[in-house]
Every structure is written in C-alpha cells, then in structure tokens.
Amino acid sequence: MLTLQTLQTQLLEKIKTKNEEFIRLFHGRGGFFQSWEFLTIDSINKVLSIAYFDEIEESLEKQLNTLYETVFNTGSYEAVILQKRYLAKAPSEVILGKLPEKNYAVENGISYKLNLLNNQNSGFFPDMKIGREFVKDNAKDKKVLNLFSYTCAFSVSAYKGGASIVVNVDMNKKVLEVGRENHLLNEVGAKITKYMPYNILKSFSRIKKAGPYDLIIIDPPSFQKGSFAATKDYQKIIRRLGELSSEECTVLSCLNAPNLDSTFIKDIFSEQAPSFSFIEKLDNMPSFPNNDDERALKNLIFRNY
C-alpha cells in the first residue's frame, strides 16, 4: 500500500527532470493505488495541479498540503492549484504561489491553452496523448473530420502531421474559439480550418457537404445532458459514416465510459458500418495506470475497405 512518504519520494524523483511538457505525476483514479483513488497530480510547466475526486479527512488534507509545499519549493513552481471535483461546479483555487497570467499544456512541443481555474475541465485531456500522436502520424495530406472537437487539440495535431484541411464540429461555440486560439498559438491551419458550431446529431447534411473525409475522429463525452448519451447516441454517428467517409477512410473511435467496454464500439461498427474493419486498440498512457483497462480510456482504430 502506498504511504504518504513513498508518494512524496516518488513525486520528488519525477520532478527532477521536469521541463515545460505536461506530466501526470500521480494517477490514483484508476484504482491502481489502494486508498488513493481520490487524487491526481499534474506538472504543467510552472504549475502544480491537484484534483480531489472525493472528500478526504482533514488530517490527511493537512499532511498533503505539507507535501505539496515541499514539491512546490523543490520543483521551482510558481503556483499550486487545487480543484475539488466532488463539489458542485468543481471549484478550483490557488493554494500556493501566484498563477501565471497565461497557462499552456505542452505535449510533444505542441501548446494548448488552459484555463486552470475553470470549472470541471481546463481545456485539455492529457490521457489522450497517444490518440493525438496517432492522428499526427496518420494525417499526411488527409481531409480530417474532428467530431466533438472541444478545444481542437486533435485538429492541431493533424496539421502538425500534414493534414490538408480539418473540419471541427462542436456545439459549444466558446470551446471552438479556444480551438481557434490553439491553431494560432501553434501557427497551423489558421486560414483553412473549418469550424461548425452545431449539434452533430442534427447536422449531418452540413457536415457531409465538406467531405468526404479521409480521417475521422469521434471523441464524444460519455454523457452530456440533453445532447449526447453514448449508450443510445453513438450508433447514430456510426451508421452515417458511409456518407461522410472516403473509400479508404480511417476512424479513431474514442470512448471514456467505465461502464462500456471495447466490445460496445466493435459491435456498433459491425452492425452499423460493416465496411469498416477493426484494426487495433491503442495503448493507454503508462502514467495513467488502471486496474481494469476496459474501464479506462478506449481508443479503437477502424478502416474502410
């Protein structure tokens, strides 16, 4: 069982070689570390970012605060952020230092704008690194469709890999504006990127007009009240793939619902898009250990033949 002292030792060892790149220093969410499921710790350049997913005892919180101060001083951080994800609206606060005016997550030299005091999500999902690397490695000269694009991290990765054009679709206009900023920040695709602030399930005709697409990314929330539920809506997208895809289209199909496994996605493709064959399931990041890989993030690759 992981002790507080062992955790501190591990953290201090990991930050010895830290640089501007995003690092998940500790991941308790996967149940790999018994009794530590409530905690994640990230190194984001000059910011140490902590998240609690459950309420903890006051005595443990005090001990952890002491640990954070040690890491803060040793790692030359400018601020420590604590987010309590178990509370309504998941509030974040600066508990040490002063937050830099502008904050970015850097991954493989690509920068993504962050709002570290935003409720729920900062604008970047670090566990998707291998998925973004796949897109970058397979985007050369491709027309890319990025569904549920959020802040367009996949789009920026696609351009870094040589994509000819990317169409980003998300019903939230505000996150698409952050996506525009991410393109400008990385000096890619500013003039050729298309942004569609639409509900995907109601906008297939508009999306189809900009196709056909050679690479399609489907990365929906597992559940978003009033707009998407994976259990009943994922198949609505897959059944329309034939209308959106080129003859040799590749699909990255993502799912981050602990209660749904890879078979859920494979069965939908088999029933709704039989021309697409399953190719592989991408590995997950070793810095996000999980007791059950099927309860963790699932990135599945399919190809049209």
Mean pLDDT (the chain) is 95
The pair of structure tokens assigned to 263 is 């078979």
Looking at residue 227, its pLDDT comes to 73
CA-based nearest residue to 237, from 213, 184, 273, 267:
273
1 pLDDT band, cuts 50/70/90, is confident
pLDDT tens digits along 282-303: 999 999 999 999 999 999 999 9
Q: Could you tell me which CATH class the domain 4-114 is placed in?
A: alpha beta
The pair of structure tokens assigned to 27 is 């991941």
Phi/psi of residue 7, nearest 5 degrees: -60, -45
Beta strands in 193-243, from DSSP E residues, in sequence order: 194-196, 213-218, 223-224, 228-229
**Over pLDDT 70: what percentage of the chain?**
99
Kindly list the domain boundaries of the chain, sorted by start residue.
4-114, 127-304
CA-based nearest residue to 83, from 73, 101, 71, 68:
68
Considering the segment(s) 127-304 as one domain, its CATH architecture is: 3-Layer(aba) Sandwich (3.40)
Looking at residue 305, its pLDDT comes to 86
* CA 194 to each of CA 142, 164, 179, 183: distance values in angstroms, whole numbers, following the listed order: 14, 12, 11, 11
